[in-house]
A and B are shown apart, each in its own frame.
Chain A
Amino acid sequence: MLEAVCGAFVLIISGDAKLIEIVALSLKVSLSAVVFASLLALPLGAAVAVARFPGRKAIVVLLNALMGLPPVVVGLVVYLLLSRAGPLGSFGLLFTPPAMIVAQTILILPIIAALARQSVEDAWLEYQEQLRSLGVSGVPAALTLLWDIRYSLLTAVLAGLGRASAEVGAVMIVGGNIDGVTRVMTTTIALETSKGDLPLALSLGIVLILLVLALNAAAYVVKDAAQRKYG
């Protein structure tokens, strides 16, 4: 145990090339997924919060339920879509980083959308009369709300990032955990642990936790500063 911990720190401090490659790919995949998911989920969440249409409650329930989407199921569905015989097989994306980005985007989109919907809806309760009095409704109202609570939405985006960087099932299935191509932190930890290479697994675990911690701390600082500046 102690040996494994020491080994892990040696790998981290020495800047092991393999370690860095795996961490870099993980960040690339998960951050890309967060960007794509946010671009879709934030407007979607705002629209559901502001608009009133038949079936709206069903969509709210669906979004909330999909927050608990099992990563392996998402992986399986994306696998079926992207496999040679699947409808999107001709793109040849299976077992590539783009496939992993697609899977993680699908996985975290409901999380970001559901949390954004809640934040925007709370703000809408406060702003609604004033905005309607000024003649602002529909899409402009939703955009105004999104912009006005942008720092609160960081929390929703971070929840998505946390989920994406921590999940192992979806990237394992659609990425295939190919050494040097689609191997990310979580899949490597799973593999190396079963192989018995504990120092590498442990060092990746430490890096993963430190990254998540650092991102959350940065977001907290930004949000706190914005809160004090804008009220």
Chain B
Amino acid sequence: MSDFDADIPEVRAVSETGVPIRGNDIDTDQIIPARFMKVVTFDGLGQFAFFDVRYDDDDNQKAHPMNEERFNEANVMVVNDNFGCGSSREHAPQALMRWGIDAFIGESFAEIFAGNCLALGMPTVTADSETIADLQDWVEANPDGDIDIDVENETVTYGGQTVDVDVDDAQRQALVEGIWDTTALMSANSGEISATAASLPYLK
């Protein structure tokens, strides 16, 4: 195990414009269709995010927020219930990150998806369905409006109002304290790792 530079940025707050993606149970097959996963690096995945709902069979654009110019610069995706369910592919958050997304606000997130986002330093903030619906409507009407996510204090401020949101405790701490890069954190414990390995019956 070699040592490496473990300088992990802290993510306390995100302040950017939003894009609403409506619908429950949006799975990772929709976020990035499997045929675009035949790649050996994540570079360039952004253009294929939500491909099948953004383009028709002849690659013509369909009506979708991510095709609208006014949302081109958006960095906060506002979603509904159980976002990112289905396959554990990290290509999904990678594609969205490379499209430009830095943070998510939604009713709920599939666990693996949220974990994959955290590993990239992207918050997945949750709120009740009413709060989300209001925010989605507001983003729709204010594509240039800033959304401030305060990860530490679990609030979102937009259009002059501040609403309470939830950030999973472990996620909040990891982001705020800059301890979300688990490779760096765990590498530090090489002595304990060897001790645990040596104690396992099947490795004796």
Are A and B a genuine interacting pair, yes or no?
A: no
Residues of chain B having any CB pair with chain A under 8 Å: none
Residues of chain A having any CB pair with chain B under 8 Å: none
